[in-house]
Amino acid sequence: MKTHKLGIIMNGVTGRMGTNQHLYRSIAAIIKQGGVKISDDEVIMPDPILVGRNDAKLKSVAAGAGLPEGVLRISTDLASVLKDKNYPVYFDAQTTDRRVVSVKQAIAAGKHIYCEKPTATNTADALSLWEAAKKAGVKNGVVQDKLWLPGIMKLKQLISTGFFGEILSVRGEFGYWVFEGDVVPPQRPSWNYRKEDGGGMIIDMLCHWRYLVDNVFGNVKAISCLGATHIKRRWDESGKPYTCTADDAAYATFELDNGIICHFNSSWCVRVRRDDLLTLQVDGTKGSAVAGLRDCVSQQYNNTPRPVWNPDIDNPIDFYGSWAKVPTQQICDNAFKIQWELFLKHIVKDEPFRWSLLEAAKGVQLADLGIQSWQERRWIYVPKLG
């Protein structure tokens, strides 16, 4: 068996997403399964080193990975690790405001780049990362995990079979109630609600909606967006109150090149009464579907009820009864892990990987334009990048 050992610098994995999705459920899971299988006699085996500012946190995260002692190295000296030729790949899961400087350092050191989004807090910085990577000739990619969620994959299958006929519109509902922290502990870190620390719903989620819409429904042509800071005061990790300076909700409408209209509500101030934390309803001339994170239901034209408006009587139609669950026809792995495996194959075997830092810049661009639309109260067309 030929094994391609691939050193990976993992910076910022002591945060929630970095620890759970990228280390435990992706890289550690790949190591435990025996690597990424390329053929019957060839595998890629990740060799990670965890980098961060807090040695105690790094040790705790490494211990929780469930790997044999010595498999996970740790370091608080990023500059030194970047000089180590045994680690040709750099991964960044830090807070957004720290990402640009670190990624540019890694590019200057000749490392291939894989990182979380948003890659920057503004389009110019995000585009500069792509241009630096291209000039240095290093391979690069950005996390776009929602493309491999089971519910989204079922939705894409319906689209590929022509189920919808002509797609007319997409309605996305995302979010849940994030507790303020005074009585019930919050589920998200406090920096998310401080603009000066890189927080904000628009910069956070419009990056997701850009790659999801572009890859599933069509390219975004124009945007109209309204943001809001609904909760003005929250409590941080030490129990101290602070003023919220970042938007905690975004109400965005996208017009696509192909004429489809998409509207996404994103909020940390909404109580969930829907099938999942994220739902997408797609309406077409021949049918509709609603996809969540894992499941998807559909309704064909012939099964569509014919309601008549009459508020004087109880509604006689069970609107849920004529929807059918889309069957699970393949086992879906963790979405982050699937993209990690594709990126590792891209590095070692030069297999195609189209989710580059340019795609990341497109997401930041849409967030920038969303904020501009909010400030100027108008529709804005989306210029082409790259």
Following DSSP, what letter does each residue of 187-225 receive, concatenated?
SS-GGGG-GGGT--HHHHHHHHHHHHHHHHT--EEEEEE
- Regions in the chain scoring below 70 on pLDDT: none
- Locate the DSSP E strands across 71-156: 73-75, 89-92, 112-115, 140-142
The per-residue pLDDT for 329 is 83
Q: Radius of gyration over alpha carbons of the chain, in Å?
A: 22
The per-residue pLDDT for 383 is 97
The per-residue pLDDT for 173 is 98
Pairing of strands 296-300, 324-325: antiparallel
CATH of range 2-145+334-356; options 3.20.20.70, 3.40.50.720, 3.20.20.140, 3.40.50.2300: 3.40.50.720
- Residue ranges of the domains in the chain? 2-145+334-356, 146-333+365-380
The per-residue pLDDT for 127 is 97
What's the whole-model pTM score?
0.94
The type of residue at 99 is R
With residues binned 3-state (H G I as helix, E B as strand, rest as coil), the percentages for the chain, rounded to 5, are 35, 25, 40
Residue 293: phi and psi, rounded to 5, are: -65, -40
Chain centroid offset of residue 316 CA: 40
Tokens 């500059």 correspond to 79
The answer to whether 118 and 96 are in contact (CB under 8 A) is: yes
The answer to whether 123 and 150 are in contact (CB under 8 A) is: no
Residue 333: phi and psi, rounded to 5, are: -80, 175
The answer to whether 379 and 369 are in contact (CB under 8 A) is: no
Instruction: Look at the alpha carbons of 66, 67, 69, 74 in this order and tell me if their dihedral is positive or negative.
Output: negative
Cross-strand partners of 250? 227, 266
The per-residue pLDDT for 69 is 85
Instruction: Look at the alpha carbons of 360, 361, 362, 363 in this order and tell me if their dihedral is positive or negative.
Output: positive
Measured CA to CA, the distance from residue 172 to residue 213 in angstroms comes to 10
| CATH class name, domain 146-333+365-380 | alpha beta
The per-residue pLDDT for 16 is 87
